[in-house]
């Protein structure tokens, strides 16, 4: 009898039993998604006493909403809230622009130009890097001197090596190398980066984070934009070349407008990643360049159980991302899919 609930009665129609279960499960997950967000939203309007008295679920019914927490965060803590907010805004935006700009250029080049770096040259570069590290670590040589000397050595030895080189890498290898950088856990690179910025006097500055985020996100930009560029028909560019346009003019004037949706999608993705980034900020910033994730985490330590204040902080942190994403969500989905499906 129960089985009959699951047998379709008409064509094109899902049996009632299946429909009930499907809606039920989907509804359940909707609840799972929305409830925590709802809870946090109403908690930001609660007073400490509302929280301590046990869970209050509906505003105006279980408790009287108040703007106390909001006031505290924005007024009482004013500068301490605005500073991280501005930092996050500036850092995320600038690093995204840089990453998208440099990464798109590289992706375009990899899609259109054939590179053949000799394996020997790559080996030479890595060798020079190791030399710099050894010199600074063991020999106590100043970083700048070491870089200058090894850099000069590199260029000197480059010519003869390239001329005699036999094995070459191809574009695919370069792209693979860039993408494989994602596997590298940031925690492995963060300590040396910390030391580098420290010796350059750039700790706890926005600049440090901008450069770091831009670099960390370059592989993603290259990965995603490569497919977009590769799908632009070559004929358009070729006819522009015949007309005498420079490569720069072709890229920025003709190709970029064609892949604009891809750029928006990628930019959005990178923006969100930069906005939410935690690890590098944790190591590289303390007070001046504190970003929002750090602020929330730091508050967690001192104000842990102050749910009302924390809710406000988190809300103002996630609302911009949500609004931006919701208005442009079609682009993000395409961006993630292009990357994921291509693997």
In this chain, which of 45, 63, 85, 108 binds another protein, going by CB under 8 A?
108
**Given the rule CB under 8 A, which of 53-61, 155-163, 199-207, 254-262 is the region that contacts another protein?**
53-61
User: Which residue lies nearer to another protein by CB, 260 or 337?
Assistant: 337
Residues from 15 through 34 that contact another protein (CB under 8 A) = 18-19, 22-23, 25-26, 29-30, 32-34
Instruction: Give the C-alpha separation, 103 to 339, whole Å.
Output: 15
Q: Applying CB under 8 A, does 54 fall inside the site for another protein?
A: yes
Give phi and psi for 59, each to the nearest 5: -65, 150
In this chain, which of 91, 100, 210, 214 binds another protein, going by CB under 8 A?
214
In this chain, which of 226, 229, 283, 331 binds another protein, going by CB under 8 A?
283
The tokens describing 225, both together, are 């934009």
Site size for another protein (CB under 8 A): 110
| Least spacing, CB of residue 126 vs another protein, in Å | 7
Phi-psi region of 60 (alpha: psi -120 to 50; beta: other; left: phi over 0): left
| Least spacing, CB of residue 290 vs another protein, in Å | 13
Q: Applying CB under 8 A, does 39 fall inside the site for another protein?
A: yes
Q: Show the binding pattern over residues 164-203: x = contacts another protein (CB under 8 A), - = does not.
A: ----------x---x--xxxxxxxxxxxxx-xx-------
In this chain, which of 83, 204, 215, 264 binds another protein, going by CB under 8 A?
215
| Least spacing, CB of residue 301 vs another protein, in Å | 8
Residues from 116 through 155 that contact another protein (CB under 8 A) = 125-126, 129-130, 132-134, 137
Instruction: Give the C-alpha separation, 245 to 238, whole Å.
Output: 10
Q: HEC states along the chain?
A: CHHHHHCCCCCCCCCHHHHHHHHHHHHHHHHHHHHHHHHHHHHCCCCHHHHHCCCCCCECCCECCCCHHHHHHHHHCHHHHHHHHHHHHHHHHHHHHHHHHHHHHHHHHHHHCCCCCEHHHHHHHHHHHHHHHHHHHHHCCCHHHHHHHHHHHHHHHHHHHHHHCCCECCHHHHHHHHHHHHHCCHHHHHHHHHHHHHHCCCCCCHHHHHHHHHHHHHHHHHHHHHHHHHCCCHHHHHHHHHCCCCHHHHHHHHHHHHCHHHHHHHHHHHHHHHHHCCHHHHHHCCCCCCCHHHHHHHHHHHHCCCHHHHHHHHHHHHHHHHHHHHHCHHHHHHHHHHHHHHC
Residues from 64 through 93 that contact another protein (CB under 8 A) = none
| Least spacing, CB of residue 232 vs another protein, in Å | 15
| Least spacing, CB of residue 17 vs another protein, in Å | 13
Q: Show the binding pattern over residues 309-338: x = contacts another protein (CB under 8 A), - = does not.
A: -xx--x--xx--xx--xx--x---x--xx-
**Given the rule CB under 8 A, which of 49-57, 65-73, 152-160, 257-265 is the region that contacts another protein?**
49-57
| Least spacing, CB of residue 214 vs another protein, in Å | 7
Q: Applying CB under 8 A, does 275 fall inside the site for another protein?
A: yes
Instruction: Give the C-alpha separation, 321 to 302, whole Å.
Output: 26
| Least spacing, CB of residue 241 vs another protein, in Å | 10
**Given the rule CB under 8 A, which of 65-73, 158-166, 212-220, 227-235 is the region that contacts another protein?**
212-220
Q: Applying CB under 8 A, does 247 fall inside the site for another protein?
A: yes
């Amino acid at each position: 009898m129960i089985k009959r609930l699951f047998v379709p009665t008409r064509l094109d129609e899902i049996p009632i039993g299946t429909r009930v279960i499907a809606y039920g499960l989907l509804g359940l997950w909707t609840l799972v998604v929305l409830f925590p967000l709802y809870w946090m939203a109403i908690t930001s309007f609660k007073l400490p006493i509302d929280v301590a008295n046990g869970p209050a679920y509906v505003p105006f019914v279980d408790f009287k909403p108040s703007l106390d927490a909001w006031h505290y965060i924005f007024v009482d803590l004013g500068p301490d809230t605005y500073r991280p907010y501005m930092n996050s805004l500036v850092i995320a935006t600038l690093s995204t622009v840089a990453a998208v700009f440099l990464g798109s250029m590289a992706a375009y080049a990899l899609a259109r130009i054939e590179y053949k770096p000799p394996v020997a040259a790559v080996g030479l570069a890595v060798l020079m890097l190791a030399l710099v590290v050894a010199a600074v670590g063991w020999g106590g040589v100043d970083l700048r001197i070491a870089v200058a000397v090894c850099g000069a050595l590199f260029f000197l030895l480059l010519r003869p090596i390239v001329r005699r080189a036999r094995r070459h890498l191809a574009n695919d290898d370069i792209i693979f190398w860039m993408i494989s950088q994602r596997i590298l856990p940031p925690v492995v690179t963060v300590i040396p980066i910390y030391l580098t910025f420290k010796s350059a006097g750039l700790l706890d500055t926005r600049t440090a984070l901008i450069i770091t985020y831009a670099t960390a996100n370059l592989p993603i930009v290259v990965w995603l934009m490569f497919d977009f560029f590769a799908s632009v028909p070559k004929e358009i560019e070729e006819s522009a070349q015949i007309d005498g346009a420079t490569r720069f003019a072709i890229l920025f004037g003709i190709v970029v407008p064609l892949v604009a949706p891809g750029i928006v999608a990628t930019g959005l993705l990178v923006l969100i990643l930069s906005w939410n980034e935690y690890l590098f900020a944790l190591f590289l910033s303390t007070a001046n360049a504190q970003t929002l994730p750090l602020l929330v985490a730091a508050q967690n330590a001192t104000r842990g159980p102050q749910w009302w204040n924390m809710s406000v902080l988190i809300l103002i942190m996630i609302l911009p991302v949500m609004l931006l994403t919701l208005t442009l969500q079609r682009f993000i989905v395409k961006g993630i899919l292009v990357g994921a499906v291509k693997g």
